[in-house]
Chain A
Amino acid sequence: MRYFEKMKGITKSPPRVDLWEMMWSWIGSFLGIAAVAFIHYQWLEKSDMTLIIGSFGASAVLIYGAIRSPLAQPRNLLGGHVLSAVIGVTACKIFPGQLWLASALAVSFSIFVMHATKTLHPPGGATALIAVIGGPKIHALGYLYAFLPVGLGAMAMLLIALAVNNLSGKRRYPEFWW
Chain B
Amino acid sequence: MTTKTRGGFFGSSSVELSEEDILAAMKSIHGYLDITPSDFKEVYGIAFRHAIERLSNMVKAGDIMTPGVISVGPDTPLSETAQKMEEANISGVPVVAGDRTVLGMISEKDFLWKMGAGKTGSFMGVVSECLSNRGCVAMPIRGKTAGDIMVSPVITAQRDATVFELSKKLAEHHINRIPVTDEQGRLVGIVSRGDIVDSYCAKIF
Contact = CB atoms under 8 A, between A and B. Distances in A.
A71 B35 CA distance: 11
B30 A69 contact: no
B157 to A, nearest CB: 41
A66 B34 contact: yes
Contacts of A11: 19, 36-39
A33 B117 CA distance: 82
A21 B30 contact: yes
Interface in B19-35: 19, 23, 26-27, 30-35
Interface in A1-33: 10-15, 17-18, 21
Q: Is the interface of A mostly helix, strand, loop or mixed?
A: loop
B85 to A, nearest CB: 53
Interface string A65-77: 1111111100000
Contacts of A66: 32, 34
A46 interface: no
A152 to B, nearest CB: 27
A39 to B, nearest CB: 28
A21 B31 contact: yes
B32 A17 contact: yes
Contact of A171 (B19, B30, B35): B30
Interface in A57-97: 65-72
B31 A14 contact: no
A69 B23 CA distance: 17
Interface in B33-47: 33-39
Interface residues of A, number: 19
A10 B38 CA distance: 7
Contacts of A15: 23, 26-27
B34 A71 contact: yes
B34 A70 contact: yes
Contacts of A70: 34
A67 B34 CA distance: 9
A78 B26 CA distance: 28
A170 B35 contact: no
Contact of B32 (A12, A68, A170): A68
- Please indicate which of the listed interface residues B19, B26, B36 has the most CB atoms of chain A within 10 Å of its own CB: B36
B37 A14 contact: yes
A15 B34 CA distance: 11
B140 to A, nearest CB: 56
B36 A65 contact: no
A155 to B, nearest CB: 23
A14 B26 contact: yes
Given A11-B38, A14-B26, A14-B33, 13 more contacts: A10-B38, A12-B23, A12-B36, A13-B36, A15-B26, A15-B27, A17-B32, A18-B30, A69-B32, A69-B34, A70-B34, A170-B30, A171-B31
19 contacts: A11-B19, A12-B19, A12-B23, A12-B37, A14-B26, A14-B36, A14-B37, A18-B30, A21-B30, A21-B31, A66-B32, A66-B34, A68-B31, A68-B33, A69-B32, A71-B34, A170-B30, A170-B31, A171-B30
Interface of A: 10-15, 17-18, 21, 65-72, 170-171
